Structure formats: structure tokens, C-alpha cells
């Protein structure tokens, strides 16, 4: 008996181009009271939860002398090293 030819060819996986603007995510859990307060704040300021979150993390990084911008973080690193 003759074998059937395998019509399926192995395809290489497509490489995915990642833009510099791609977002990453993490699921966070809040107690109900905090979540409600954040929702009210978002409505009051006419902002999305995402916008409030970005603002909160930017403030947190600033408070601890860090930056979300890579180049700015390098500059801060150099300044800290010079102080030592």
C-alpha cells in the first residue's frame, strides 16, 4: 500500500513585533470600600481607573526616587552613585 502524502507542512511560528507602547497587566484585588472610593474618585475627576492607577504609580515611584522612564532612571542612578 502506498502511503498518503502528508499535506500538512510544518510552519515556523510567526514572530510578533512588539511595539514600545505595549501595555503589561497585573490583576489586583481591593477591598470593596477602597474599590468604591476609587470609582467615585474616577467619576469625580472624569478619569478612567487606568488613568488613576498610572498617576498613583507615578507618585509612588517619585516618592521613592525612581522613574518609570528608563533614561531618567539612569540619570538618577548616576547622581546617586556620585553622592556615595
pLDDT at 34 over 90: yes
pLDDT tens digit sequence for 7-17: 555 555 565 55
For helices 49-63 and 32-45, what crossing angle results, to 10°? 100
Residue 80 and residue 75: Cα distance in Å, rounded?
9
Residue given cell 516618592 in the structure block: 63
pLDDT at 39 over 90: yes
CA 41, chain centre distance (Å): 22
Q: Tell me the whole-structure pTM to 2 decimals.
A: 0.58
Q: CA 66 → CA 14, 39, 52, distances in Å?
A: 36, 27, 19
Amino acid at each position: 500500500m502506498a502511503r498518503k502524502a502528508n499535506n500538512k507542512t510544518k510552519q515556523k511560528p510567526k514572530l510578533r513585533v512588539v511595539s514600545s507602547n505595549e501595555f503589561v497587566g497585573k490583576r489586583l484585588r481591593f477591598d470593596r470600600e477602597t474599590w468604591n472610593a476609587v470609582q467615585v474618585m474616577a467619576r469625580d475627576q472624569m478619569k478612567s481607573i487606568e488613568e488613576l492607577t498610572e498617576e498613583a504609580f507615578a507618585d509612588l515611584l517619585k516618592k521613592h526616587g525612581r522613574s518609570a522612564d528608563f533614561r531618567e532612571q539612569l540619570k538618577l542612578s548616576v547622581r546617586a552613585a556620585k553622592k556615595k
